[in-house]
Amino acid sequence: MASSGTKPKPDFTEAESSAWVRDMFARVAPRYDLLNRILSFQVDRLWRWRTARILKPWIQPESRVLDLCCGTGDLLVALESATPARYLGADFCFPMLVLTQAKSGAPLIEADGLHLPLRDNSLDLITIGFGFRNFVNYRAGLDELLRVLKPGGRLAILEFTQPPNSFVRGFMKGWNRWVMDPMGRLVSGQGDAYQYLPESVSRFPDAPLLAKMMREQGFGEVSFRYFDAGIVALHLAQKSL
């Protein structure tokens, strides 16, 4: 059964891994915001606000903006407070969407980012905060994002990454092991989830590699910038005109 065990097993199919991830997020949803605030000392909020500020020049009131993997809605809310647009949130985990609904009036869809129920060439901007690394197939995910973006549309992926500095990398490794894992276990009661989260970061391509992957899948104008010594990276890209 995909939802049991401490992490997606190597012999899981993509559908089983995806079901495991969805179930894990459903279990942590009630404590997700609280744990984010505790484990990041509120810095996670600054990352989302900073992202919203960087994206602001690309967002017009008539822009159709999808916040994919919206979770409990924090990036969506940061975007909405930065600038008006026609926002839409999507996540494949229903309990997360319920929490978003309490914060945002944007229409929400329960959907997998790998199979979006949206027309080709229909969005001006897609944002993904701390969700992309959970995709079971990154290249297929990028293909799907490219499909629904309008020509000239933009993609912004805010995600944990491997800090380029080895001291910071070592610090983060220790933080995850000695702080995040026990604290996550204690507050959420879901030990496997807070084991999975750092593991998913260490498996995720580092920032230069993700940028390369985005170019290979057909995105143009690919760039990234690190926030806070490279704990997270914001990748930006554009679908060619």
Ligand X SMILES: C[S@@+](CC[C@H](N)C(=O)[O-])C[C@H]1O[C@@H](n2cnc3c(N)ncnc32)[C@H](O)[C@@H]1O
Q: Taking a C-beta distance cutoff of 8 angstroms, is the pair 181, 194 a contact?
A: yes
Contacts with 68 (C-beta within 8 Å, 6 or more apart), sequence order: 90, 91, 113, 116, 126, 127, 128, 131, 145
Distance of CA 140 to the CA centre of its chain: 16
Encoded one letter per residue, x for contact with ligand X by CB under 6 A and - for no contact, window 35-54 reads -------------x------
Residue 58 CA neighbour count, 13 Å, CB half: 21
| Nearer of residues 228 and 240 to ligand X, judged by Cβ | 228
| Nearer of residues 134 and 161 to ligand X, judged by Cβ | 134
> Which residue in 8, 17, 20, 21 binds ligand X (CB under 6 A)?
21
By CB under 6 A, residue 113 contacts ligand X: yes
The span of 90-98, 178-186, 203-211, 215-223 binding ligand X (CB under 6 A) equals 90-98
Distance of CA 234 to the CA centre of its chain: 11
| Nearer of residues 39 and 222 to ligand X, judged by Cβ | 39
Q: How far is the CB of 144 from ligand X (least distance, A)?
A: 9
Contacts with 1 (C-beta within 8 Å, 6 or more apart), sequence order: none
| Nearer of residues 110 and 170 to ligand X, judged by Cβ | 110
Q: How far is the CB of 119 from ligand X (least distance, A)?
A: 18
